[in-house]
Amino acid sequence: MSPRTLVLAGAMLVMTGSAGAQQSGVTEFTAAGVRVVLKSVPANEVIALRLYLRGGSANLTAERAGIEQLTWQLATHGTEKYSRDAFAALSARTGTVIGAQATHDYTVIGVQGVRDFWNDTWDLFTQAVLHPTFPDSEFAQVQSQALNGLRQRPDDPDEQLDHLADSVFYAGHAYAVEPEGTVEAVSALVRDDVVRWHRERLTKENLVLVVAGNVDRADIESRVAAAFGALPARGSAARLPAAYRAKPADVLVVSRALPTNYVQGMFVAPGRSDPDYPAMRVALGILSERLFEEVRTKRNLTYAVAAGMHADRANAGFFYVTAVEPDTTLKVMRHEVERLANEPIAAERLGENVNVFVTRYLMNQQANMDQAATLGIFDVLGGGWRRALDFPDRMRAVTPADVQRVARRYLRNMRFVVIGDTTKIDRRLFTSL
């Protein structure tokens, strides 16, 4: 959206649908055409906001890679009401924290403040989201910083590994366009591109606002109506990415003189809306613990080993390890995959593992911002925010047979990237998983 002043006088609140669905202190409603999910947290004075803009890099072309990340990095560097310095000063004085992150599926603008400065926090939030001016000098500075980060990525083996693993796994898919962009794409962007992109993407159908804190519905309704009411209802609707089609197992080996070898394998995994998601979370949690015990503790083959899942709509899981002897390490890892698929875990042991996972899940919801983040990502990617509330019960319902089933279904056709000593890599071993 190009900079402009919205006409707020006489703004009317528009309600659609029912009066709102409420569960466990969470209420959903629509204000002035914008969907809002509100979690009431009267126990503290922190207010957390997360505005989700559907789309992400999966809706970009390779030539525009990085534009959404750059747009929202610039949003706090000058608005219609505040210069960059004035924005930063008010943020510091009120304890308001604001930031943004672009992903494959969405971009999220997160803001946290305290109730004593709620008016200022909301003002900073809406100025950054709706009224950034993208000053030329600030555009040049932020673009330069982004380019420096992209150019320095190969300096860190882990950064290089993540980049290459995604590139290999998502080749030909919408996720091949990276949220951070490329040096070539970001270099070619000009200020007018950002202004145009902001204007086109900021429509009501693309937005979901999640709020967690000591604030009531009437307050949020009136603020959203006043601030967002004049936005276009539709335009540049986010396209959903196609399902990822599994490819044959493969390995890319990059020669680099390092004291250890960096290894990452990726495989198709269920997304949050998939019925297999809870079982896969449990299975990978068990596998990660076993890998730590067998690879690091018993055999001392590494200091870092893990298995897990990303948080994308077309989701992927991963193996990660750094090892001086990658072939020996991978044989142990493969054995643990086979054991998970072929040997049922005892129901009592499974219950103990699930209790640990559920406890961690709930502990990670202690902060208001974490509660907003969990509700938001389930709403945007996981079939609705209610799925966040019943997730512990769905994990507790996982059976030993479920663990074996998802291990057999998903832990295969892995595509590996190895950075390090090419003489220590047996390609047949890496393509056997």
Q: pLDDT tens digits for 193-226?
A: 999 999 999 999 999 999 999 999 999 999 999 9
262-296 as b/e: b if 16+ CB within 10 A: bbbbbbbbbbbeeebbbbbbbbbbbbbebbbebbb
Tell me the pLDDT band of 433, cut-offs 50, 70 and 90.
confident
pTM score of the predicted model: 0.90
16 band by pLDDT with thresholds 50, 70 and 90: very low
Under the banding of pLDDT at 50, 70 and 90, the label for residue 238 is confident
Query: With pLDDT > 70 as the criterion, what percentage of the chain qualifies?
Result: 95
Tell me: pLDDT of 23 over 60: no
236: confidence class by pLDDT, cuts 50, 70, 90: confident
Q: Which pLDDT score is estimated for 417? A: 97
Q: Is the pLDDT of residue 21 over 80?
A: no
The closest of 237, 326, 220, 315 to 271, measured between CA atoms, is 315
Flag the least confident range among 22-31, 273-282, 423-432: 22-31
Query: Residue 138 pLDDT more than 90?
Result: yes
Residues 350-398 pLDDT 10s = 999 999 999 999 999 999 999 999 999 999 998 999 999 999 999 999 9
Q: What single string gives the DSSP state of each residue in 129-175?
A: HH-B---HHHHHHHHHHHHHHHHHGGGSHHHHHHHHHHHHHTTTSGG
Query: Residue 17 pLDDT more than 70?
Result: no
pLDDT beyond 70 at 252: yes
pLDDT at 10: 26
**pLDDT of 5 over the 60 cut:** no
Residue 22 has pLDDT above 90, yes or no: no
The Cα 180–Cα 166 span in angstroms is: 13
Tokens of 285: 């949690």
The pLDDT, as a whole number, for residue 43 is 93
Smallest CA-to-CA distance from 431 within 414, 419, 418 is with: 414
Q: Are 70 and 201 in contact (CB under 8 A)?
A: no
Report the pLDDT averaged over residues 128-133.
Answer: 98
Question: Residue 178 pLDDT > 50, yes or no?
Answer: yes
DSSP state of 192: H
Instruction: Give the SS3 label for residue 111.
Output: strand
The residue assigned the tokens 């047979």 is: 401
H/E segment holding residue 49: strand 46-54
Give Cβ neighbours of residue 94 (< 8 Å, ≥ 6 apart). Answer: 113, 114, 117, 120, 121, 124
H or E element in which residue 97 lies: strand 97-102
Mean pLDDT, the chain, as a whole number?
92
pLDDT digits (tens, 9 = 90+) for 273-312: 999 999 999 999 999 999 999 999 999 999 999 999 999 9
For helices 191-201 and 67-74, angle between their N-to-C axes, nearest 10 degrees = 90
Q: Return the pLDDT at 6.
A: 25
pLDDT, tens digit (0-9, with 9 covering 90-100), for 45-74: 999 999 999 999 999 999 999 999 999 999
Residue 264: CB partners within 8 Å, gap ≥ 6?
161, 162, 165, 318, 319, 320, 416, 417
Grade residue 237 by pLDDT with cuts at 50, 70 and 90: confident
pLDDT at 8 over 50: no
Tell me which residue of 349, 373, 350 sits closest to 361, measured CA to CA.
373
What pLDDT score was predicted for residue 19? 33
Query: Reduced to 3 states, what is the DSSP secondary structure of residue 35?
Result: strand
Exposed/middle/buried for residue 119 (C-beta within 10 Å: 0-12, 13-18, 19+): exposed
pLDDT of residue 402: 98
Of 118, 112, 368, 109, nearest in space to 219 by CA: 118
Which token pair is 284? 């990978």
> At residue 2, does pLDDT exceed 60?
no
Question: What pLDDT, on the 0 to 100 scale, is given for residue 77?
Answer: 97
